[in-house]
Amino acid sequence: MAADTTVADNLRTALYDTHVALGARIVPFGGWDMPVQYQGVIAEVAAVRNAAGLFDVSHMGRLHIGGPNAAALLDILLTGSASGLRVGRARYCFICNDQGGVIDDTIFYRLSEDEFLLIPNAGNRPAVARWFDRQLALHFDGRGVHITDRTMLTGLIAVQGPRAVGMVDQLCEDFTSGARRASNPGRTPAPSQLRPFAWGRGHIDGRRVFIGRTGYTGEDGFELAVGSADVVPIWNKLTDAGVVPCGLGARDVLRLEAGLPLHGHELSDTITPIEAGFGRFVRRDGGYNGADVLDHQRVYGTERRLVGLTLPGRSAPRAGYDVLADGQVVGTVASGSYSPTLEQCIAMAFVDAAHADPDTVLTVDIRGRQSQATTTEPPFYQRPS
């Protein structure tokens, strides 16, 4: 167990000193020094499931893609339609290579007719930016789109949990929806009026905030993009209101409980969205990179499929462990953890299609112990409606 695992040339968010002052354990992640936990993963998961948690996700990228050809370029780069997305809305989808493998998964927001904000994963930001530049040169001769990386100029924080929306409502002033359609007449506009995957703008503590009703925890909530100088005051405003700081450890458990993929585990440049069971985020009219492969897989199926596994006990299956049927290896764990919310172990695993139907009984080799695992369709956890 090494005491100091931070890396000298890792990037730090504007909140780094705040995390250290809060007693966070800092770990390297995707080229950044990030808080993995403050008080403890179990308490932080409970805060998000029962009240409200606060995450520094400034390590994720902020790419602004603008210009007359922006929507047309994104239609080629993304499995979700950009030209069909209304201003004021956001969409989750994939950036695929020509083989259908996932370069990254992303949420992108339509800011105006000609401008989009796209959020790549921290470690994938350089690869995504390079891929976009190459594709722009290939399809549009490098013209009609400007790509600006605003990651280091801004911060991104997520407020998640059943109490998150009400708390942001209380703190937010001068809210306006990003949609051009006016909100309900007679009602004071508020962030809570945003539908899921819609965005707006407002002020917290007198500072400009971009507010998206998005997240990565399976709970309701917002992601807030703000200027770098405003991140710490806004973070403090939220923690003063009682929102609990949560680290990447809790975030990983929460997203796994909610059945959400993490690039590098359930998705990669050699795993397609269809294999991973996320075909609902892939449009059916083609025209994007990798469409031929994904269309074919959707019709004819794939050799392996991502399944959920539930296991009794508390000894967790972890990434890379073998999944077996009748003593034969039929798959590999992509992510696994003890789930404090469900009080059992859960995992997502790629298994041969023959063993992927729900309620199939398999085993996972947990460091030499054969642990019984039952397949299920994620999510493992769904918030009460």
User: How far is the C-alpha of 181 from the C-alpha of 191, rounded, in Å?
Assistant: 15
* 338 in contact with other proteins (CB under 8 A): yes
In the region spanning residues 202 to 241, those forming contacts with other proteins, defined by CB under 8 A, are none
In the region spanning residues 17 to 46, those forming contacts with other proteins, defined by CB under 8 A, are 25, 36-37, 40-43
User: How far is the C-alpha of 317 from the C-alpha of 334, rounded, in Å?
Assistant: 9
**275 in Cβ contact with 351 (< 8 Å):** no
In the region spanning residues 303 to 332, those forming contacts with other proteins, defined by CB under 8 A, are 313-316, 318
Beta carbon nearer to other proteins, 143 or 314: 314
Identify the residue among 337, 341, 363, 371 touching other proteins (CB under 8 A): 337
User: How far is the C-alpha of 254 from the C-alpha of 75, rounded, in Å?
Assistant: 31
DSSP string covering 196-263: TTBEEEEEETTEEEEEES--SSSS-EEEEEEEGGGHHHHHHHHHHTTPEE--HHHHHHHHHHTT---B
Report in angstroms how near the CB of residue 209 gets to other proteins at its nearest.
Answer: 31
Identify the residue among 340, 351, 356, 375 touching other proteins (CB under 8 A): 340
- Stretch 256-295: interaction string toward other proteins, x if CB under 8 A: ----------------------------------------
Beta carbon nearer to other proteins, 67 or 245: 245
* 367 in contact with other proteins (CB under 8 A): yes
User: How far is the C-alpha of 200 from the C-alpha of 263, rounded, in Å?
Assistant: 27
User: How far is the C-alpha of 332 from the C-alpha of 323, rounded, in Å?
Assistant: 5
Identify the residue among 57, 253, 276, 364 touching other proteins (CB under 8 A): 253
**97 in Cβ contact with 294 (< 8 Å):** no
Q: How many residues bind other proteins (CB under 8 A)?
A: 23
**302 in Cβ contact with 342 (< 8 Å):** no
Which spans of this chain sit near other proteins (rule: CB under 8 A)?
Answer: 1-4, 25, 36-37, 40-43, 249, 252-253, 313-316, 318, 337-338, 340, 367
